[in-house]
Amino acid sequence: MRGLMQETPLLISSLIEYSATYHGDTEIVSRTIEGPIHRTNYREVNRRSKRLANALTTLGVQFGDRVATLAWNSYRHLELYYAVSGLGLVLHTINPRLFPEQIDYIVNHAEDRYIFVDLTFVPLLEGLKDKLKSVKGFVVMTDEAHMPKTSLPNVQCYETLLGAQSDQLTWPVFDENTASSLCYTSGTTGNPKGVLYSHRSTVLHSFGVCMADTFGINSGDSILVIVPLFHANAWGIPYGAAMCGAKLVFPGMAMDGKSVFELLRDEGVTVTAGVPTVWLMLFQYLDQHKDAKLSKLARVVIGGSAAPRAMIQRFHDQFGARTMHAWGMTEMSPIGTIGNLLPKHLDRPFDEQLEVQVKQGRGVYGVDLKITDDEGRELPRDGKAFGNLLVRGPWITSGYFRNDGGQILDPDNWFDTGDVATLDPDGYMQITDRSKDVIKSGGEWISSIDLENEAVGHPAVQEAAVIGVPHPKWQERPLLVVVKKKGGEVSRADLLAYLAPRIAKWWLPDDVVFVDELPHTATGKLLKTKLRERFRDYKLPSASDAAE
Ligand code: AMP
């Protein structure tokens, strides 16, 4: 028997309509590319999204066409989120940190019709314009006063385009499984692959973002969105915030510690979200401004790579802010797990709570998780066994755009994340590695991430990476590669002595190398393939001992 409830499609336009109606005055604040702070609100964003949607129609784009952005976090980018998807077009958010040849590859692969571009990235597109076969025109996201001289063909000004349009529009209604946005993974090998979100997956994921035991965002929050709108839809926050009417604060292109701190302070930010690197830059600024205070900051979402213990501790000690350690992937919209404490942890000393918080968090409603061995056998949830982490659920991809990579799910719809993890009896998941990065030493696995987390706990260490280096006796042994903090002094022997009591004896790196910087991917993750290449012929001191 079929239920008798309304089958209203879950559409992204319903999010902005809701916030415009019930939270119309709630602010959207942006640090603009042009310079000044800009203020608008949900009512205006809805109106201007409608103008933009009308403009897109006059540009001749058709239902299902891809419209791309190459832009920082700002109100204009947010308007594109709602206008493009609201019309039934697909918003392709291009990551500007990809290599230029990857950008031209994905624009052609997506067959983007128009590209909306921030001033900063106009030169990048000028260099690529002759290769972008499907693109009919470009729109520079600025006003007439700031329009650059450019060699881009068929180029228009965003504000002029909007100015010519009415804000009268009823968002069209269509199947909730229609594609809404497209984001390419920045894989470390091969071409980027497209993850194609739907309206249904996005709206369901927005509920996931708002749940009290996840990010728990609500109309009382002011959220500084550091995570880029071009990276997995900024972890779904722009949609979730509209669903609950939270204030949004966008940093534009200024990610330096001072600019981020000023927004946190001046906009009464209660929640912020970003990858660890950004917080390191904030801490560097705070080190030089010891009297800096943030009275409202309550929660910091850290994901994308592991949140170091020292970082969680510092947010707690300096601001009384709680870290929500989160894990996910572009392929997962991206939320998979979120770290909040359970009632039984609340009375424990902070040190013990930290043990829980360094894990990547508990599964959220909507995401099934399991770990398996290489034969596909499920491993126990005992917090010790580690294996391949598999996921499934309504906001997880079923296949890449244009079937790149072919069939990616197993017969029961499980998607292999490529991460290696433990699951404990309380449901907390801890990433121990990427399956490609785990160090296989004498038949046992060593977690490079655990070692990195411990190493960055040393006060003189800015960033650390651990890779496996070939070893005649053990197959592979860990090599620790370290960037020192400015002015920080630490030797190989100091670091090994620091690590020794903190890790299993046989996990101790065989050597330490100091470098000026570490290679990163377009989304800020350590690029270990590059490091492995660089140290491929590295001779560990222990290797010659073993050879003797
Ligand atoms: P992306 O699709 O670029 O967001 O990358 C997803 C990958 O980032 C995951 O598969 C993990 O390897 C890694 N990742 C994301 N969040 C975390 C985290 N909190 N700790 C460790 N690794 C993470």
Higher pLDDT, 524 or 274: 274
Model pLDDT, residue 444: 78
Has residue 228 been placed in a domain?
A: yes
Mean pLDDT, residues 79-97: 97
Using the 8-state DSSP alphabet, how is residue 407 labeled?
-
When pLDDT is cut at 50, 70 and 90, the band that residue 277 belongs to is confident
Has residue 85 been placed in a domain?
A: yes
Average the pLDDT over each of 64-68, 96-100, 192-196, 479-483 and give the range with the smallest value. 96-100
Check if 319 has its Cβ closer than 6 Å to any atom of ligand 1: no
Check if 453 has its Cβ closer than 6 Å to any atom of ligand 1: no
Q: At residue 288, what are phi and psi to the nearest 5 degrees?
A: -90, -5
Burial of 455 (0-12, 13-18, 19+ CB in 10 A): buried
Q: Tens of pLDDT along 304-329?
A: 988 989 999 999 999 999 999 999 99
Check if 95 has its Cβ closer than 6 Å to any atom of ligand 1: no
Mean pLDDT, residues 49-59: 98
Q: Which of 66, 72, 195, 187 is nearest to 132 (CA)?
A: 66
Model pLDDT, residue 504: 86
When pLDDT is cut at 50, 70 and 90, the band that residue 243 belongs to is very high
Q: Which of 297, 320, 283, 273 is nearest to 461 (CA)?
A: 283
Model pLDDT, residue 545: 66
Structural domain count, the chain: 2
**449 CA from centroid of ligand 1 (Å):** 12
Mean pLDDT, residues 253-281: 95
CA nearest ligand 1 atom 15, residue = 304
Higher pLDDT, 541 or 153: 153
C-alpha gyration radius of the chain: 24
Has residue 110 been placed in a domain?
A: yes
Mean pLDDT, residues 121-137: 97
Model pLDDT, residue 453: 87
Has residue 324 been placed in a domain?
A: no
**Which residue segment(s) compose the domain that 221 sits in?**
13-254
Check if 397 has its Cβ closer than 6 Å to any atom of ligand 1: no
- 66 in Cβ contact with 90 (< 8 Å): yes
**522 CA from centroid of ligand 1 (Å):** 13
- Assess whether pLDDT exceeds 80 at residue 206: yes
Q: Are strands 222-225 and 247-250 parallel, antiparallel or unpaired?
A: parallel
Last residue of a domain, one of 254, 273, 294: 254
Q: Which of 23, 27, 48 is nearest to 224 (CA)?
A: 27
**Sign of dihedral through CA atoms 506, 511, 517, 519?**
negative
User: Average pLDDT of the chain?
Assistant: 95
CA distance 48 to 41: 11
Mean pLDDT, residues 170-176: 98
CA atoms within 13 A on the CB side of 317: 11
**304 CA from centroid of ligand 1 (Å):** 4
Q: What is the number of the ligand 1 atom nearest to the C-alpha of 523?
A: 3
Check if 305 has its Cβ closer than 6 Å to any atom of ligand 1: yes
**504 CA from centroid of ligand 1 (Å):** 25
Model pLDDT, residue 9: 98
When pLDDT is cut at 50, 70 and 90, the band that residue 524 belongs to is confident
Percentage above 70 pLDDT, the chain? 99
Q: Tens of pLDDT along 472-489?
A: 888 899 999 999 998 999
Percentage above 90 pLDDT, the chain? 85
Last residue of a domain, one of 211, 237, 254: 254
| Residue 486 Cα distances to 110, 186, 490, 528, angstroms | 42, 30, 11, 23
**303 CA from centroid of ligand 1 (Å):** 7
Q: Tens of pLDDT along 370-381?
A: 999 888 999 999
Report the CATH number that the domain containing residue 26 is assigned in CATH. Answer: 3.40.50.12780
Average the pLDDT over each of 180-194, 204-218, 244-258 and give the range with the smallest value. 180-194
CA atoms within 13 A on the CB side of 488: 19
CA nearest ligand 1 atom 22, residue = 305
Has residue 156 been placed in a domain?
A: yes
Model pLDDT, residue 547: 53
β-strand partners of 423: 429
What's the start-to-end Cα distance of the chain, in Å? 76
3-state secondary structure string, 295-349?
CCCCEEEECCCCCCHHHHHHHHHHHCCEEEEEEECHHHCCEEEECCCCHHHCCCC
Has residue 86 been placed in a domain?
A: yes
Contacts of 445 (CB under 8 A, 6+ apart): 386, 420, 432, 433, 438, 439
Model pLDDT, residue 134: 98
Average the pLDDT over each of 135-139, 441-445, 486-490, 499-503 and give the range with the smallest value. 441-445
Average the pLDDT over each of 75-79, 85-89, 182-186, 311-315 and give the range with the smallest value. 182-186
- Assess whether pLDDT exceeds 70 at residue 417: yes
When pLDDT is cut at 50, 70 and 90, the band that residue 546 belongs to is low
Check if 324 has its Cβ closer than 6 Å to any atom of ligand 1: no
Check if 434 has its Cβ closer than 6 Å to any atom of ligand 1: yes
Last residue of a domain, one of 226, 254, 282: 254
Report the CATH number that the domain containing residue 509 is assigned in CATH. Answer: 3.30.300.30
- Assess whether pLDDT exceeds 70 at residue 410: yes
Model pLDDT, residue 227: 97
**441 CA from centroid of ligand 1 (Å):** 24
Contacts of 462 (CB under 8 A, 6+ apart): 280, 456, 482, 483, 484, 485, 486, 488
Model pLDDT, residue 189: 64
| Residue 448 Cα distances to 134, 209, 303, 358, angstroms | 42, 30, 17, 15
Model pLDDT, residue 205: 98
Residues marked as catalytic: 185, 331, 440, 445
Q: What is the number of the ligand 1 atom nearest to the C-alpha of 303?
A: 19
Has residue 384 been placed in a domain?
A: no
Q: At residue 242, what are phi and psi to the nearest 5 degrees?
A: -70, -35
Mean pLDDT, residues 479-501: 95
Check if 367 has its Cβ closer than 6 Å to any atom of ligand 1: no
**396 CA from centroid of ligand 1 (Å):** 14
Has residue 319 been placed in a domain?
A: no
| Coil, strand or helix at 544 | helix
Check if 417 has its Cβ closer than 6 Å to any atom of ligand 1: yes
Q: What is the number of the ligand 1 atom nearest to the C-alpha of 521?
A: 3
Q: What is the number of the ligand 1 atom nearest to the C-alpha of 306?
A: 20
- 199 in Cβ contact with 16 (< 8 Å): no
When pLDDT is cut at 50, 70 and 90, the band that residue 526 belongs to is confident
